Amino acid sequence: MRLLKINKEHIDFLEANGLEFVNTEYIYLRAYHKGEYLFQQGEQIGCIYLLYNGKVNVSVTSNNGKTLLLSICTNPTLLGEIEFFTDGLATTSAQAINRTLLLIIPFAQIRGVGGNERFLSFLGLSLAKKLTRSVQNTTLNILNLADTKVSSYVLLSNVEGRFQANLTKVAELLGISYRHLLRTLENLCKDGILEKDNHAFVIRDMEGLQALAQDCYAPMELS
């Protein structure tokens, strides 16, 4: 793992998101490539991750090996709060959708540096907001049709208006069949919302896509 020192831009980012009290001496920056895991379910992790740039899939895998998407995170999002309080194994998996930059805050430093009480309060509030968002996402995921799930996934995971992914994996994450996913993407193309471009889809009607998405898989607001 290559960790880089943060600069003034990163410090301004922390301050803008309510973390002005954190001792920046112990915070580092790390880049993750597309498809790289920040951590996987069942792994021991030892830091808080603050998403600075890029997008991250958060999913959970059941005992039968099936994986379900919980949310798609954009900046600023915290990851690792549950593990900080339980000192246990990762309850979910987090995977970079594109090149992603994260600020890394080691657990040991949070427990040992100044501003600890404020940090604990901040993490507690973050968990409360995340739980609320998780309940909303789960409800939408259960009740909504495949068109809504697919539209939301494309909306949140596209990179500069272009959606390209392993469709077999996407179908599993959304809990629908591969055939149903293809049919939904084809319908979105027929409606002029998407346009097929080789192995990718280009968003042609962003407002139409947003109307269909209905906030499925939306990230939790940090501040």
- Tokens of residue 112, six digits: 């040992």
Give the residue ranges of the chain where pLDDT is below 70: 1-2, 112-115, 136-144, 218-223
> What's domain 4-140's architecture?
Sandwich (2.60)
Neighbours of 36 (CB within 10 A): 12
Q: Give the pLDDT of residue 113.
A: 54
Q: Domain ranges in the chain?
A: 4-140, 145-213
- The residue type found at 130 is K
Q: How many helices (H) and strands (E) does the chain have?
A: 8, 12
Residues 9-68: pLDDT tens digits?
999 998 888 888 888 888 999 999 999 999 999 999 999 999 999 999 999 998 888 888
Q: Give the pLDDT of residue 125.
A: 83
Q: Give the pLDDT of residue 178.
A: 94
Q: Give the pLDDT of residue 107.
A: 87
- What is the third-level CATH fold of 145-213? Arc Repressor Mutant, subunit A (1.10.10)
Q: What is the largest CA-CA distance in the chain?
A: 57
Q: Which of 147, 145, 156 is nearest to 70 (CA)?
A: 156
Q: Give the pLDDT of residue 76.
A: 87
Q: Give the pLDDT of residue 142.
A: 64
